[in-house]
Amino acid sequence: MADELERPGETPEHEGAEAHLPSPTIWPFAFAGAVALILLGLIVNVWATVIGAVLAVVFGFLWIRQATREVRGAPEPVEAPAPPQVEPEVGEEGPPRYERSKFLEGATIGIGAAIGAIVTLPVLGFAVAPAFVDQDYPEVDLGPLDEYPEGEWLIATFTSIPDDGKVSRRTAFVRYNGMQDSVPSFSILSNRCVHLGCPTQPQGPSGETRELEGRPVVLTPTQPSGYGCPCHGGAYDVEGNRTAGPPVRALDRYEYSIVEGRLVLGTPYSVAEVEGEGADAVIVKYSPSDPGVHVDGPEEYLYPYVP
Is the predicted pLDDT of residue 183 greater than 70, yes or no?
yes
Confidence of residue 76 (pLDDT cuts 50, 70, 90): low
CA distance 86 to 47: 64
Q: Which of 240, 259, 260 is nearest to 250 (CA)?
A: 240
Is the predicted pLDDT of residue 251 greater than 90, yes or no?
yes
Lowest mean pLDDT among 13-22, 112-121, 166-175, 208-217: 13-22
Question: What mean pLDDT is predicted for residues 224-253?
Answer: 92
User: Quick one: pLDDT at residue 24?
Assistant: 66
Dump pLDDT digits (tens) for 117-173.
Answer: 887 777 777 777 666 666 677 888 898 999 999 999 999 998 877 666 677 788 999
- What are the structural domain ranges in the chain? 23-73, 140-302
User: Quick one: pLDDT at residue 123?
Assistant: 76
**More reliable by pLDDT, 66 or 293:** 293
The answer for residues whose C-beta is within 8 angstroms of residue 237's C-beta and 6 or more apart is 226, 243
Chain centroid offset of residue 58 CA: 25
User: Quick one: pLDDT at residue 77?
Assistant: 63
Instruction: State the Cα torsion 83-84-88-89 to the nearest 10°.
Output: -130
Q: Which of 215, 54, 95 is nearest to 143 (CA)?
A: 215
CB atoms near residue 42 (< 10 Å): 19
Calculate what percentage of the chain has a pLDDT beyond 70.
77
Using DSSP's 3-state secondary structure scheme, residue 24 falls into coil
User: Quick one: pLDDT at residue 2?
Assistant: 46
Residue positions counted in the chain = 307
Is the predicted pLDDT of residue 16 greater than 50, yes or no?
no
Is the predicted pLDDT of residue 101 greater than 80, yes or no?
no
- CA distances 6 to 2, 12, 18, 50, Å, are 9, 8, 20, 58
Is the predicted pLDDT of residue 92 greater than 70, yes or no?
no
Arithmetic mean of pLDDT over the chain: 80
**More reliable by pLDDT, 221 or 120:** 221
Q: Which of 165, 153, 139 is nearest to 263 (CA)?
A: 139
Chain centroid offset of residue 198 CA: 23
User: Quick one: pLDDT at residue 116?
Assistant: 80
Q: Which CATH number fits domain 140-302: 3.40.50.720, 2.102.10.10, 3.30.479.10, 3.30.70.260?
A: 2.102.10.10
User: Quick one: pLDDT at residue 211?
Assistant: 87
Question: What mean pLDDT is predicted for residues 212-235?
Answer: 89
User: Quick one: pLDDT at residue 87?
Assistant: 62
Dump pLDDT digits (tens) for 24-46.
Answer: 678 788 888 888 888 887 777 77
